[in-house]
């Protein structure tokens, strides 16, 4: 249960932790001794060691002397030959099954112009049986100047293939005419609350479907079988482990990843740790599940909810106080009614369920913070760890509120170097001064965890580290860093991917550090991150990924 704390889970640096380490010293031989290592423990910016001792699924000794004292005939000794070791990385924001499914779907992310975009869709359609949906995509219209695709672009090359390919931010689908027909969308279809069905000058759907309107399409596509879902979950687990990720937080509006990992856990197949954030509107069902089954275990956890409050900057559906510069007729949309937000947050929080909210635009970040403050006042003090996902654009007054209200900022550094290519066209330079404000948030003393938003960005945490440290946009136009005042140090970024990720999931007493009493989750790398130029981080490779004392990769 997440609410329980054992003796082994007392924080490092306390007297109780010292007693715990002494208790370990009196026990028997280690199961495994990892020696001759350069260990960054995560306890501080420069805290290092040279050996790790493991018994069962726990770290029980740190340092060559302590490990040597516990090494016996039954101990498996692993000489790391000077390799660099870090705590396992935690990715606190992924769309796991969706992303894993897209591994085998066509990619449109780097299509440089409409011609290439259409050609890739045509080629993918040719490889599918007649009538099978073409999904995947991750397209980005800003790569070719911003012109939105139109169904007429692809109708001729996909006459028998319904197409529903997503923009890389996951807030927008592009459909051909056949897909629109199967979804029941025509000129008379009204955009639902929190969504947009884009129409052309003639009043006909263009094929662009945004935010909650996507539900009309998803219903028409239907669901994968449990066997298909579990197969792609396994593929996602394998990829995550190969990148040094040892726990993920699926933050989704459906239960597909939750259901799959529960099935795999029942078979003992996980290997990667999961903490699930389920739809906030269904918080009562989760409260009932907790009453029946608790909150999971160290492999598959629940007891948290997520709500989406606005859209995305790229889709112009993130909600701002002022209009978009490149589309003055809109300030974005609100996906969830603020009254529902307040009612659901209050109910879930009262039931002891952690809550996080997707908020990108400056207006909705203020609304979410206001809501969290009001609920905390009504429900009274407790360790609730409210989170905000993305926290991309803020008024200057919002930044200190995270520390003051003890709200976690869950951010994705890769988004800064991606959106930074074109964000100024959307909202102008003034609003960008406090956008993707990682440095300001970290320096304020707020809890900041960093992740990927996979598949919006790669699940590889090294891409996030490099983005947070250098902030060089993907187009190469900001070699000194895009808004460089918001850069953070490598040690700060690594803390955000380890200790802060653990804190964000109520796992900070057992994950995020290499220390006695903590779960044996750590990664062996082929180079010392602190000994190379930050631009070379992307070339680093995980050699071994150990989770729960077992080598799961390498």
Instruction: Flag whether 537 is in a domain.
Output: yes
Q: Taking 90 as the threshold, does the pLDDT of residue 238 lie above it? A: yes
What share of the chain in percent tops pLDDT 70? 95
In 372-403, which positions are buried (b, 16+ CB within 10 angstroms) versus exposed (e)? beebbeebeeeebbbbbbbbbbbeeebbebbb
Q: Which two tokens stand for residue 347?
A: 């109910």
Please report, for the domain that includes residue 188, its CATH number.
Answer: 3.10.310.70
Instruction: Flag whether 68 is in a domain.
Output: yes
pLDDT at 109: 87
- Only one residue has tokens 């529960």, namely 262
409 vs 18, higher pLDDT: 409
**Do residues 6 and 76 share a domain?**
yes
pTM of the model as a whole: 0.88
Backbone phi, psi, residue 165, to 5°? -105, 140
pLDDT at 138: 86
Determine contact, residues 523/466, Cβ cutoff 8 Å.
no
The string of pLDDT tens digits covering residues 365-379 is 999 999 999 999 999
**Quick one: pLDDT band at residue 522, thresholds 50, 70, 90?**
very high
**Do residues 71 and 20 share a domain?**
yes
**Quick one: pLDDT band at residue 465, thresholds 50, 70, 90?**
very high
* DSSP string computed for 65-134: HHHHHT--TT-EEEE-TT-EEEEPEEEEEE-HHHHHHHTTS-B-TT--SHHHHHHHHHHHHHTS-TT--B
Instruction: Flag whether 251 is in a domain.
Output: no
DSSP β-bridge partners for residue 354: 304
Name, in order, each residue with C-beta under 8 angstroms of 43's C-beta and a sequence gap of 6 or more.
Answer: 12, 13, 513, 514, 515
Q: Taking 90 as the threshold, does the pLDDT of residue 521 lie above it? A: yes
216 vs 8, higher pLDDT: 216
pLDDT at 170: 86
For residues 172 and 219, give the distance between their C-alpha atoms in angstroms, rounded to a whole number.
15
pLDDT at 24: 43
The string of pLDDT tens digits covering residues 468-516 is 999 999 999 999 999 999 999 999 999 999 999 999 999 999 999 999 9
Q: What is the mean pLDDT of residues 504-530?
A: 98
**Do residues 113 and 217 share a domain?**
yes
DSSP β-bridge partners for residue 547: 550
For residues 461 and 247, give the distance between their C-alpha atoms in angstroms, rounded to a whole number.
12
**Do residues 201 and 162 share a domain?**
yes
Name, in order, each residue with C-beta under 8 angstroms of 381's C-beta and a sequence gap of 6 or more.
Answer: none
pLDDT at 8: 26
**Do residues 8 and 82 share a domain?**
yes
**Quick one: pLDDT band at residue 23, thresholds 50, 70, 90?**
very low
Q: Which two tokens stand for residue 264?
A: 């795999």
**Do residues 116 and 211 share a domain?**
yes
pLDDT at 299: 98
Q: Extract long-range pairs of 230-235: CB within 8 Å, 24+ residues apart.
A: 230/260, 230/263, 230/264, 232/97, 232/100, 232/101, 232/103, 232/104, 233/96, 233/97, 233/100, 233/257, 233/260, 233/261, 233/264, 234/264, 234/269, 235/100, 235/103, 235/104
Q: Taking 50 as the threshold, does the pLDDT of residue 21 lie above it? A: no
Please report, for the domain that includes residue 547, its CATH number.
Answer: 2.30.40.10
The residue out of 221, 241, 271 marking a domain boundary is 221
**Do residues 84 and 146 share a domain?**
no
**Do residues 133 and 185 share a domain?**
yes
- Residue 273: count other Cβ atoms within 10 Å of its Cβ: 26
Instruction: Flag whether 96 is in a domain.
Output: no
What share of the chain in percent tops pLDDT 90? 90
- Tell me what the pLDDT averaged over the chain comes to: 93
Domain count, the chain: 2
Instruction: Flag whether 516 is in a domain.
Output: yes
Determine contact, residues 540/462, Cβ cutoff 8 Å.
yes
* DSSP string computed for 304-364: EEEEE-B--TTTT-S--SS-BTTBTT----BSS-HHHHHHHHHHHHHTT-EEEEEE-SHHH
pLDDT at 222: 86
Residue 1: strand, helix, or coil: coil
Backbone phi, psi, residue 132, to 5°? -75, 135
The string of pLDDT tens digits covering residues 46-92 is 999 999 999 999 999 999 999 999 999 999 999 999 999 999 999 99
Q: Which two tokens stand for residue 2?
A: 């997440």
Instruction: Flag whether 406 is in a domain.
Output: no
**Do residues 84 and 112 share a domain?**
no
**Do residues 120 and 179 share a domain?**
yes
Q: What is the mean pLDDT of residues 162-180?
A: 93
The string of pLDDT tens digits covering residues 291-345 is 999 999 999 999 999 999 999 999 999 999 999 999 999 999 999 999 999 999 9
pLDDT at 4: 27
**Do residues 72 and 118 share a domain?**
no
**Do residues 125 and 214 share a domain?**
yes
Instruction: Flag whether 45 is in a domain.
Output: yes
Q: Indicate the pairing of strand 195-199 with strand 245-250.
A: unpaired
Instruction: Flag whether 30 is in a domain.
Output: yes
Q: Taking 50 as the threshold, does the pLDDT of residue 412 lie above it? A: yes
* 202: containing domain: 107-221
- Residue 238: count other Cβ atoms within 10 Å of its Cβ: 15
Determine contact, residues 552/272, Cβ cutoff 8 Å.
yes
**Quick one: pLDDT band at residue 17, thresholds 50, 70, 90?**
very low
The residue out of 171, 188, 221 marking a domain boundary is 221
């Amino acid at each position: 249960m997440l609410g329980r704390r054992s003796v082994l889970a007392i924080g490092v640096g306390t007297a109780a932790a010292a007693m715990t380490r002494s208790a370990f010293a009196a026990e028997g031989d280690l199961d495994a001794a990892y020696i001759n290592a350069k260990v960054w423990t995560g306890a501080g910016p420069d805290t290092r060691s040279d050996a790790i001792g493991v018994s069962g699924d726990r770290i029980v000794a740190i340092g060559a002397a302590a490990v040597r004292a516990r090494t016996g005939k039954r101990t498996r000794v692993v000489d790391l030959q000077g390799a660099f070791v870090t705590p396992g990385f935690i990715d606190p924001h992924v769309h796991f099954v969706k992303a894993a499914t897209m591994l085998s779907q066509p990619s449109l992310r780097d299509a440089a112009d409409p011609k290439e975009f259409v050609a890739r869709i045509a080629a993918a359609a040719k490889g599918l049986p007649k009538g099978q949906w073409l999904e995947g995509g991750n397209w980005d219209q800003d790569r070719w100047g911003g012109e939105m695709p139109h169904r007429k672009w692809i109708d001729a090359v996909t006459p028998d293939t319904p197409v529903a390919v997503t923009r890389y931010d996951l807030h927008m689908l592009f459909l051909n005419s056949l897909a629109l027909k199967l979804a029941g969308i025509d000129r008379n279809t009204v955009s639902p609350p929190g969504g947009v069905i884009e129409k052309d000058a003639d009043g006909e759907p263009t094929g662009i479907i945004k935010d909650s309107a996507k539900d009309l399409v998803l219903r028409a596509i239907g669901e994968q079988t449990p066997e298909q879902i579990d197969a792609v979950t396994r593929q996602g687990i394998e990829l995550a482990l190969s990148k040094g990720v040892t726990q993920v937080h699926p933050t989704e509006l459906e239960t597909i990843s939750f259901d799959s990992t529960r099935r795999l856990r029942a078979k003992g197949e996980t290997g990667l740790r999961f903490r699930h954030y389920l739809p906030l509107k269904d918080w009562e069902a989760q409260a009932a599940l907790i009453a029946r089954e608790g909150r999971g275990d160290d492999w598959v956890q629940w007891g948290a909810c997520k709500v989406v409050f606005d859209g995305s900057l790229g889709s112009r559906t993130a909600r701002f106080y002022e209009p978009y510069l490149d589309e003055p007729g809109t300030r974005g949309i609100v996906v969830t009614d603020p009254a529902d937000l307040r009612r659901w947050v209050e109910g879930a929080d009262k039931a002891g369920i952690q809550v996080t909210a997707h908020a990108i635009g400056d207006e909705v970040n203020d609304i979410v913070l206001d809501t969290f403050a009001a609920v905390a006042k009504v429900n009274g003090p407790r360790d609730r760890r409210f989170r905000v996902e993305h926290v991309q654009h803020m008024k200057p007054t919002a930044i200190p509120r995270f520390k003051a209200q003890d709200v976690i900022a869950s951010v994705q550094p890769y988004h800064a170097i991606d959106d930074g290519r074109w964000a100024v066209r959307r909202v102008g330079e003034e609003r960008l001064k406090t956008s993707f404000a990682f440095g300001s948030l970290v320096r304020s003393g707020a809890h900041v965890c960093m992740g990927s938003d996979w598949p919006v960005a790669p699940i590889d945490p090294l891409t996030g580290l490099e983005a947070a440290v250098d902030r060089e946009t993907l187009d190469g136009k900001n070699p000194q860093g895009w808004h460089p005042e918001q850069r953070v140090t490598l040690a700060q970024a690594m803390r955000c991917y380890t200790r802060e990720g653990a804190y964000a999931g109520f796992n900070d007493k057992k994950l995020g550090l290499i220390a006695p009493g903590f779960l044996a989750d750590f990664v062996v790398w082929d180079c010392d991150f602190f000994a190379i130029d930050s631009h070379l981080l992307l070339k680093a490779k995980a050699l071994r990924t150990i989770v729960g004392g077992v080598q799961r990769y390498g």
